[in-house]
A and B are shown apart, each in its own frame.
Chain A
Amino acid sequence: MTEADLVLRYNYDAFVPAKFEPWMNFDQSPKVGERAPDFPLWPLEGGETTLSALWSQYSYLVVEFGSFT
């Protein structure tokens, strides 16, 4: 899958099972107790950071994932 195709499919244009269900893979997500993968993130106010830069600032970091709708 090309990057352009990935962006198109991930940002599906309609809430229909064939488009949203393939992305739901919580059962295959990282295990608790094992080092988690790191990713870049972009603060709303500007700039760029990483998940690891954030979790390393705290004893615990709560991360809620979500959307507007």
Chain B
Amino acid sequence: MNALAERFQDQNVGSIFVYTHEAHPGEQYLHLTSMEQKYRHAQALRAVLGVTRPILLDALDGACHRAYGSMPNMTWIFNGAGIPVYKSDWTDHHSVTNALEYFLDVSQRRRAKERLAPFRVERLDYRNQDREAFFRGLERNGPKAVDEFKAAFSE
């Protein structure tokens, strides 16, 4: 997603990362109890995970995250008027790239005076499921995060 942000930044596309809460609290990164702690965890997104996009914190009660569906790693695309044009309950850069290319093409067609009307579409996209990388992430937070994930999904 960092590379995607860089690829589209010259086409007036902004990209941000909103830090929500800890999906898998563990020994290293506990559940959040204060904004000070939330800032510390958000620093790790930059320092450990290498997020280069602007990182912004949601309120401690997750007001923004909850309003948009509370999924652990979802992506939304808004147009400049604040209308969501894409919403995905998981993040996959192929899917987001595909959507951005489509919307930028729409903008170009509008500039060419093509008359366009919006409609809604549902589509089933596919994400890479790298379980080894996922478990490495859980292990980084300690055995509690690993054990609770396995117990939740009977693994």
Do A and B belong to a common assembly? Answer: yes
Q: Smallest distance from the beta carbon of A43 to chain B beta carbons, Å?
A: 5
Give the complex CA separation of A46 and B58 in angstroms. 13
Q: Smallest distance from the beta carbon of B95 to chain A beta carbons, Å?
A: 11
Contact with A along B2-13 (1 / 0, CB 8 A): 001100100111
Structural contact, B65 and A65, CB atoms closer than 8 A: yes
Partner of A66, one of B15, B17, B148, B149: B17
Give the complex CA separation of A63 and B75 in angstroms. 6
Q: Which residues of A contact B74 (CB under 8 A)?
A: 26, 64-65
Contact with A along B64-92 (1 / 0, CB 8 A): 11111111111111111111111101010
The answer to whether A42 and B57 touch (CB under 8 A), given A62-B15, A66-B73, is: yes
Give the complex CA separation of A31 and B83 in angstroms. 9
A-B pairs, top 3 by smallest CB distance, nearest first, are A26-B69, A29-B69, A39-B64
The answer to whether A62 and B77 touch (CB under 8 A), given A10-B21, A10-B62, is: yes
- Of A24, A52, A69, the most chain B CB neighbours within 10 A belong to A69
- B-side binding surface: helix, strand, loop or mixed? mixed
- By a beta-carbon cutoff of 8 Å, the part of chain A in contact with chain B is 3, 6-7, 10-17, 20, 23-44, 49, 51-52, 54-69
B120 in contact (CB, < 8 A): yes
Give the complex CA separation of A60 and B65 in angstroms. 19
Give the complex CA separation of A58 and B9 in angstroms. 10
Q: Which residues of B contact A3 (CB under 8 A)?
A: 61
Would you mind naming 14 contact pairs between A and B with Cβ atoms under 8 Å apart? Answer: A12-B25, A13-B25, A24-B71, A33-B120, A39-B58, A44-B46, A44-B55, A61-B78, A62-B15, A63-B77, A65-B72, A65-B76, A66-B91, A67-B21
Q: Which residues of B contact A27 (CB under 8 A)?
A: 69
Structural contact, B61 and A7, CB atoms closer than 8 A: yes
